[in-house]
């Protein structure tokens, strides 16, 4: 397929291969990647020595993906990045995409049902992230519309020959004599031609032009017929902010969130410069683990605010620190947890943790142990069959810091559960529960 290229996080692809896969000249595909970086308000990397926070890093002979997973469609070319934990696995790309969306579903409460994602596996077509999002949008929106089209009262101001609703006196008295045969009126109309449906209609209109999947074309064609009569207009960045959900339209929140993703990804939101949909996997893994723990444990999981590293400081700036989350019981901290979306190095068959990570998590535990209660620390890393898989154990190691007060536990979370099941690693949950009991 000459309009799709798939990276994995931190994977480099040579100019030669990009030229072949994208069917573009060197200057054109370099310009394409520079546009992606620029339009996402990030700097463009052009050397190995230059640190930047771009989506892709551009070298003299290759382009390297960074720690963002997602996709972008520019000039009929689709570039997608998949999670690094599945790079060497035997799973199909479709399974890896579904696993990524499941992570988002846990982390951001997208309310996507397991059955919906299961149906995606039956679609025997080119697996791309945007096609899956379009399918979820179209199928979930059709399901809700079958329960009833959304209508609401909207304020209408018009010039009419007859009175209806409220006369706008201030506007009426300023009219010239030849204009007074019409009344300036304001009234409320209960209609399906409201902002929410206009967003859905425009998303449908854009999606049907982009999709290649036959199932998506079928679903979107049905929606186009349903929305006949709704104003088709370009959606701007403020329109999304103007939609407010109540108990009357709450059921449309899922397709609304998916519509935001789709329109932003295709650069179709007026006033929004960014193009593409990319997620920082460090943040996503952190939120995913927090969601899993919150749903599985009977204890309170808190995101922590920053604390100052120094209690007294002269002549230098204080340093702020923040652990990912702390488990509490009866308002007392039990465990400090830090999720790290990185690959663990090995030395002589044993996992080797970065000294910076160890110093960081020790500081967190020491801070929350200030009430003479020693709080232990937990580091959590992702794993799959070929990534951070140490003898298939969840707890891959433990140690006691030099002060003999704080213990460290190193755990892994099996992300293959997102492909093979509901996403919950029961062994991981059991392990955390045992550490809490200790």
What are the tens digits of pLDDT across the range 35-72?
A: 888 887 644 444 343 445 789 999 999 999 999 999 99
Residues 426/394, Cβ–Cβ less than 8 Å: no
9 or 89, higher pLDDT: 9
- DSSP structural state of residue 136: H
Residues 102/418, Cβ–Cβ less than 8 Å: yes
Q: What angle do CA 243, 206, 154 make, to 5 degrees?
A: 30
pLDDT of residue 46: 41
Encode pLDDT of 287-316 as tens digits: 999 999 999 988 888 766 677 777 777 888
Q: Which residue has the tokens 């919950």?
A: 424
Rounded to the nearest 10 degrees, what angle do helices 214-226 and 195-210 cross at?
150
Alpha carbons 5 and 21: distance in angstroms, whole number: 6
Q: What is the mean pLDDT of residues 198-227?
A: 95
In this structure, of 146-155, 190-199, 227-236, the range with the lowest mean pLDDT score is: 146-155
Give buried/exposed letters for 202-218 (b at 16+ CB in 10 A, else e): bbbbbbbebbbbebbee
Q: Which residue has the tokens 């077509």?
A: 125
341 or 42, higher pLDDT: 341
Alpha carbons 106 and 78: distance in angstroms, whole number: 26
Rounded to the nearest 10 degrees, what angle do helices 129-146 and 214-226 cross at?
40
Encode pLDDT of 238-269 as tens digits: 999 999 999 889 999 999 999 999 999 898 99
Alpha carbons 157 and 268: distance in angstroms, whole number: 28
pTM comes to: 0.85
Confidence of residue 156 (pLDDT cuts 50, 70, 90): low
Please give the mean pLDDT across all residues of the chain. Answer: 86
Encode pLDDT of 368-410 as tens digits: 887 767 889 999 999 999 999 988 789 999 999 998 889 999 9
């Amino acid at each position: 397929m000459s309009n799709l290229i798939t990276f994995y996080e931190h994977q480099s692809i040579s100019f030669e291969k990009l030229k072949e896969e994208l069917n573009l000249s060197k200057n054109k595909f370099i310009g394409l990647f520079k546009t992606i970086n620029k339009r996402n308000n990030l700097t463009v990397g052009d050397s190995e020595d230059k640190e930047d926070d771009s989506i892709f890093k551009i070298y003299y002979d290759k382009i390297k993906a960074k720690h963002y997973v997602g996709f972008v469609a520019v000039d009929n070319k689709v570039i997608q990045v998949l999670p690094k934990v599945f790079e060497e696995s035997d799973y199909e790309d479709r399974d890896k995409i579904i696993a990524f969306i499941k992570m988002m579903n846990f982390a951001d409460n997208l309310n996507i049902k397991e059955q919906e994602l299961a149906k995606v596996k039956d679609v025997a077509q080119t697996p791309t992230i945007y096609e899956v999002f379009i399918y979820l949008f179209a199928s979930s929106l059709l399901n809700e519309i079958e329960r009833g089209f959304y209508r609401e009262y909207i304020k209408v101001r018009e010039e009419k020959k007859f009175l209806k609703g409220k006369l706008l006196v201030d506007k009426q008295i300023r009219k010239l004599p030849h204009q007074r045969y019409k009344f300036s009126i304001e009234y409320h109309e209960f209609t399906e031609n409201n902002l929410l449906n206009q967003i859905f209609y425009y998303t449908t209109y854009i999606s049907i032009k982009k999709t290649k999947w036959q199932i998506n074309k079928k679903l979107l064609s049905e929606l186009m017929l349903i929305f006949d009569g709704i104003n088709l207009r370009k959606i701007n960045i403020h329109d999304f902010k103007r939609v407010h959900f109540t108990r009357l339209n709450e059921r449309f929140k899922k397709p609304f969130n998916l519509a935001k993703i789709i329109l932003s990804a295709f650069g179709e939101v007026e006033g929004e410069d960014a193009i593409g949909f990319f997620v920082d996997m460090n943040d996503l893994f952190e939120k995913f683990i927090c969601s899993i723990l919150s749903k599985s444990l009977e204890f309170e999981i808190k995101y922590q605010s920053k604390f100052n590293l120094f209690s007294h400081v002269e002549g230098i700036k204080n340093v702020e620190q923040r652990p990912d989350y702390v488990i509490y019981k009866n308002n007392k901290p039990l465990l400090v947890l830090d999720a790290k979306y990185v690959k663990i190095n090995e030395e002589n068959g044993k996992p080797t943790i970065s000294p910076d990570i160890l110093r960081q998590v020790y500081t967190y535990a020491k801070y929350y142990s200030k009430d003479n209660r020693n709080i232990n620390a937990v580091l959590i890393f992702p794993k799959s069959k070929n990534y951070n898989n140490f003898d298939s154990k969840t707890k891959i190691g433990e140690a006691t810091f030099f002060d003999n007060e704080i213990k460290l536990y190193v755990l892994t979370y099996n992300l293959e559960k997102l492909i093979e099941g509901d996403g919950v690693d029961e062994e991981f949950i059991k392990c955390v529960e045992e550490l809490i009991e200790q």
